[in-house]
Amino acid sequence: MDIRFLPHNLHIENPAAFLKHDPHLKQLARQALIYHSPLLDRIPHHTPGIYTISGGRQIGKTTLLKQWMSELLEAKAEPLSIAYFTGEIIDDHHSLIRLLTDFIHEMPDTDISYVLLDEVTYISNWDKGVKYLADAGLLENVALVITGSDLAIIKEARMRFPGRRGVSGRVDFHLYPLNFFESVRLNNRISPDEIDLLISAGSEDHPILLDHLYEEFESYLAHGGFLTAMNDMAMHQSIQPATFSTYSDWIRGDVLKRNKQEHYLLEILQAIMKRYGSQITWNALAHDLSIDHPKTVADYVALLVSMDAVFVQAALLEDRLTASPKKARKMMFADPFIFHAVNAWLNPCEDPFNEQIKPILSNSGWSAKLTEACVTTHYQRKFPTYYIKAKGEVDIAYVDRKRFWPVEVKWTGQLRPKDIKQIVKYPNGLILTKSKQKGKIQGVTTVPLPLALLRL
């Protein structure tokens, strides 16, 4: 093997050394909270094919691969049949073909071999290399697991491998930061039995448990399920300044890598913050910026969406269950912690956790905006998700079972009739509230918001 990759493949010489000295597994072992992603059980262990894992940077894709390697070794897979490569030091598809061809030929004659190709989008024309290897029959007995942080490129490349992906029923996976349920379970301040009790009907009758759940939600609005931020809070009761920089740097770095302008990026991020969760058109946004053309604005936003940094929520065409192309959109960051990391970049300070996050979460207006965005992006992970704009507005309309389900998010102490004038028109509406009691308002069911998010 090329010596550049040996530090990540210590198992070839000694599987025990890999488990003890691999750089990512060593760092993982030092954490207070160690997460076992469900994807580890969903990636086929015994079926050759081309699999993709996409998701934003710094959410643990590399660590996930190393954990998977560890599980393969513990299951007695032949060490020489497993290899990890990082795309960061592979220049182009020619280098990729040479590298993988040499290694596959050196692998022992086993039923299946495993090649893990991390951050593949660094490799120029990587999809041509993978297609060549598949067409040459070199991947016939190989589980090739590819990760990438640019969802658009990964999605486009998938379309170029028809008939070459293998026979597994699922070959594409998306890794997100932990959702609210996963973060509550990992923190373990609420026991598994208590979580089951909260999820079951009638859990509103357990006020102490609900108090703990609301505290967990307050923490989630700070760390957003990002494991580094969660571990910071577990070990230091705050999020370290370097953690904010890590996440804002990848946004800036990935945008610059695509030959975009940093000052345009800054303007667009500032505009998203200024109009957070509000309806906006590309034309109106362009008028507020130095960017001349609405299409340029749309291109930058699309790039941020492809990086899993931003979610654009379109209005719903109720009769077609699709996005309305003519109505304004809402823009929000895909996760509360991304919001905080961007805010710390745009408005530098020495201690973002105490100087920015705490004041924001204690501000009723900003807390409500972050909560609405957090709930919206949780639904977006599972369903096509829109908002309703008619005579009134409904925050979320997700599509499931060939119909839409309207959800209003009210993270305020008091509800006014004008705030719910639209959702009362729908018999299947739901209002998620700050109250710790479920009930009905004008015939619409209300549920404590953290409880609904846990159950989602």
Q: Tell me the pLDDT tens digit for each residue of 297-316.
A: 999 999 999 999 999 999 99
- Asked if pLDDT for residue 363 goes beyond 70, the answer is yes
Residues 285 and 280: their CA atoms lie apart, in Å, by: 7
Residue 162's pLDDT is 72
Binning the chain into helix, strand and coil, the percentages to the nearest 5 are: 50, 15, 30
Q: For residue 351, count other CB atoms closer than 10 A to its CB.
A: 15
C-alpha to C-alpha distance for 374 and 214, rounded to whole angstroms: 14
| Burial degree of 413 (CB within 10 A; 0-12, 13-18, 19+) | exposed
pLDDT digits (tens, 9 = 90+) for 68-88: 999 999 999 999 999 999 999
Mean pLDDT in residue range 12-37: 93
Q: Other C-beta atoms within 10 Å of 204: how many?
A: 17
User: In the structure encoding, which two tokens stand for residue 93, read together?
Assistant: 């598809």
**All residues at 6 or more sequence positions from 112 whose CB lies less than 8 Å from its CB, including other chains:** 46, 47, 48, 81, 141, 142, 143
pLDDT of residue 291: 86
Residue 417: count other Cβ atoms within 10 Å of its Cβ.
9
Three-class SS of residue 135? helix
Whether the pLDDT of residue 356 is over 80: the answer is: yes
Tell me the per-residue pLDDT of 185-239, one tens digit each, with 9 for 90 and over: 999 999 999 999 999 877 677 889 999 999 999 999 999 999 999 999 999 999 9
pLDDT the model gives residue 292 = 78
Determine the average pLDDT of the residues in 385-391. Answer: 94
Q: Identify the pLDDT of residue 207.
A: 87
Q: What is the average pLDDT across 360-371?
A: 96
Q: Which residue has the tokens 């979580």?
A: 195
How far from 414 is each of 388, 419, 434, 439, CA to CA, in Å? 22, 10, 9, 14
Structural domain boundaries in the chain: 3-174, 182-455
Look up tokens 């760390």; give the residue.
223
Domain range 3-174, CATH architecture: 3-Layer(aba) Sandwich (3.40)
Contact partners, residue 241, CB within 8 Å, separation at least 6: 344, 350, 351, 352, 353
Strands (E), 337-443: 385-389, 393-400, 403-410, 430-433, 439-441
What is the pLDDT at residue 257?
85
Rounded to whole angstroms, how far apart are CA atoms 51 and 294?
Answer: 36
User: Which run of H or E residues covers position 133?
Assistant: helix 126-135
Amino acid at 376: T
Give me the mean pLDDT over the 6-33 stretch: 93
Cα 347 to its chain centre, rounded Å, is 24
What is the per-residue pLDDT for 254?
A: 87
Beta-carbon contacts of residue 117 (< 8 Å; ≥ 6 apart): 85, 87, 96, 100, 144, 145, 146, 147
Task: Give the pLDDT of residue 104.
Answer: 92
Confidence (pLDDT) at 409: 97
pLDDT band for position 423 (cuts 50, 70, 90):
very high
Q: Backbone phi, then psi, for 235, in 5-degree steps? A: -100, -30
Dig out the tokens for 324 from the structure.
């309305």
Spatial separation of the C-alpha atoms in residues 37 and 60, rounded to whole Å: 10
Contacts 24+ apart (CB under 8 A), 384-390: 384/321, 385/313, 386/313, 386/314, 386/315, 386/316, 386/323, 387/313, 387/314, 387/315, 387/316, 387/330, 388/315, 388/316, 388/318, 388/422, 389/279, 389/315, 389/324, 389/327, 389/328, 390/422
**Average of per-residue pLDDT across 261-289:** 91
Task: Say what the pLDDT of residue 203 is.
Answer: 66
Burial of 96 (0-12, 13-18, 19+ CB in 10 A): buried
Q: What is the DSSP string of 68-109?
A: HHHHHHHTT--GGGEEEEEGGG--BHHHHHHHHHHHHHHS-S
Would strands 444-448 and 439-441 be described as parallel, antiparallel, or unpaired?
Answer: antiparallel
Tokens 């859990």 — which residue? 203
- Helix axes 294-306 and 262-274, enclosed angle (nearest 10): 80
One-letter amino acid at 31 equals: Q
Q: Which amino acid is located at 159 in the chain?
A: M
Question: Is the separation of the CB atoms in 335 and 377 below 8 Å?
Answer: yes
Closest of 427, 456, 420, 422 to residue 441, by C-alpha: 420
